[in-house]
Chain A
């Protein structure tokens, strides 16, 4: 069997796989004949239509079978609607993961009502499209066999309940364990890290602590599972119970480094407004269709782009800022902005099998335009990254750059240098321009009124000086 055409992440499920159609350059999904019975039931039960109507599943159209990548096994070929940007669970804020969890449970409820069930509950199967989580794996369903428990229960607890409980009760940063554990956070680890008071929460006691102990206890004990049956009502009760527990989990985005940035930073109104209008002007000039706002905080500048109909991914490394950004997006039902938790000094790497299963941030680019606003001093001074490296990196992720230079005379840079020796003699506007010109052409340069800062529009050079 030649598996070369498959997407590197699409090999676990024998039901089918995703592949790139060489002719059209679009992603297609092959449904294998072994899955025929389940796919037909999925469609004929009305579940597909119900999920599409509710915007809970990615829509698809069936295409010609001749497109099959592995014709020997092909039953049908479908073309799913394109997802503009793939994100991963450790890049989501608390509420994003919570909304994704509730979506999975809502889908499982609908599936059970129609004689189907979710056979997996991977958080990687959920993506944010037009501001809402949706399921992107059409082959996640199978016919429900009477009496069977939910096969994806353990995975649901590892991918959703455990990380949410840890983020809520222990530390918001523990979502980053997802980077280490591809199949969600092991329940014994979650149980160890959760505070003792969670033993008094019946839901967490049962689904995490007792669950972990049960896994450990039965790990080496033979048990005949075939005779144990569970009714649909019990399964619906389980889903209802998990929903209530997930909804009760809560995290308040306060007290982190950047959570209160705009309330504690004394930006002059005039400068702030001028900067906003310049960003809008530069965006028009570069005619970008997609933007990555790197260091977006709560996404004030991201919304200048999204307001123009541009698709924006709004990064920040502070969980509180991303949480606030997401709540803002959700409250206003904004469709073209995606807040994500990404530290641009340590962007998401490629990981999983052969380091190819999940793409690094760089592989998910390049983008038409990157915003690098009020960030250069943090990169150069706080992180000691040379200008040349910074310019080269942004050249690799963006075709255009809207970048703000913050000089040493600025109060924010004063703050950074207050507690460390100034070992940055090259931190000047001239040096900044010199290094960036090796990778970009400066298209526009404007002084931000009422400040000592300068805003640049740069276009990536096809050949670089270094």
Chain B
């Protein structure tokens, strides 16, 4: 999916959020949660696709440059608690 398509979907999602359709379904307190999740997930999904694409590109470039695999950290530029205090728990414990 191209980025233009992704932004189009994001805009449509936002429009859907603002202009709800008429209803046949149930009402509950989670309706608002359900809809905001869809809007956020559409945008976040696009970013995630871009990040995954960039990750793959990085791997290809690294292989070509160094003849080997360099581990790419997609969050390298984000501030992280682990950088500021001590090591964070590894939520995936299998590598102990």
Residues A153 and B80 in contact, CB atoms below 8 Å apart: no
Residues B25 and A222 in contact, CB atoms below 8 Å apart: yes
> Which of the residues B42, B44, B48, B91 comes within 8 Å of A106, measured between beta carbons?
B91
- Collect the chain B residues with CB atoms within 8 Å of residue A249's CB: 81
Per-residue contact bits, chain B 66-95, to A (CB 8 Å; 1 contact, 0 not): 000000000100111110111111011110
For residue A428, CB closer than 8 A to chain B, the reply is no
Of the listed stretches A5-13, A68-76, A237-245, A351-359, name the one at the interface; the rest are far from the partner chain. A237-245
CB neighbors of B among A207-264 (8 A): 207, 210-211, 213-228, 230-231, 233-238, 240-241, 244, 247-250
For residue A54, CB closer than 8 A to chain B, the reply is yes
For residue B4, CB closer than 8 A to chain A, the reply is no
Per-residue contact bits, chain B 17-50, to A (CB 8 Å; 1 contact, 0 not): 1001111110101111111111011111111110
- Collect the chain A residues with CB atoms within 8 Å of residue B25's CB: 222-226
Query: Taking chain B's interface residues, is the majority helix, strand, or loop, or is none over half, making it mixed?
Result: helix
Measured between alpha carbons, how far is A211 from B80 in the docked complex, in Å? 25
Measured between alpha carbons, how far is A206 from B33 in the docked complex, in Å? 11
Residues B93 and A56 in contact, CB atoms below 8 Å apart: yes
- Collect the chain A residues with CB atoms within 8 Å of residue B94's CB: 53-55
- Chain B interface (Cβ < 8 Å from any Cβ of A): 16-17, 20-25, 27, 29-38, 40-49, 51, 75, 78-82, 84-89, 91-94, 96
> Which of the residues A106, A149, A236 comes within 8 Å of B92, measured between beta carbons?
A106
- Chain A interface (Cβ < 8 Å from any Cβ of B): 53-56, 95, 98-99, 102-103, 105-106, 132-133, 149-150, 153-154, 157, 206-207, 210-211, 213-228, 230-231, 233-238, 240-241, 244, 247-250, 327, 330-331, 333
- Collect the chain B residues with CB atoms within 8 Å of residue A220's CB: 27
Nearest chain A CB to B21 CB, angstrom units = 5
Nearest chain A CB to B74 CB, angstrom units = 9
- Collect the chain A residues with CB atoms within 8 Å of residue B84's CB: 250
Q: What are the 7 A-B residue pairs with the smallest beta carbon separation, nearest first?
A: A222-B23, A234-B45, A237-B48, A237-B45, A215-B32, A237-B44, A154-B33
Measured between alpha carbons, how far is A53 from B88 in the docked complex, in Å? 20
Measured between alpha carbons, how far is A421 from B32 in the docked complex, in Å? 57
- Collect the chain B residues with CB atoms within 8 Å of residue A330's CB: 86-89
Known: A224-B24, A228-B38, A248-B80. A132 touches B89 (CB 8 A): yes
Known: A149-B38, A215-B32. A240 touches B93 (CB 8 A): no
* From A53, A54, A133, residue with most partner B Cβ within 10 Å: A54
- Collect the chain A residues with CB atoms within 8 Å of residue B24's CB: 222, 224, 226
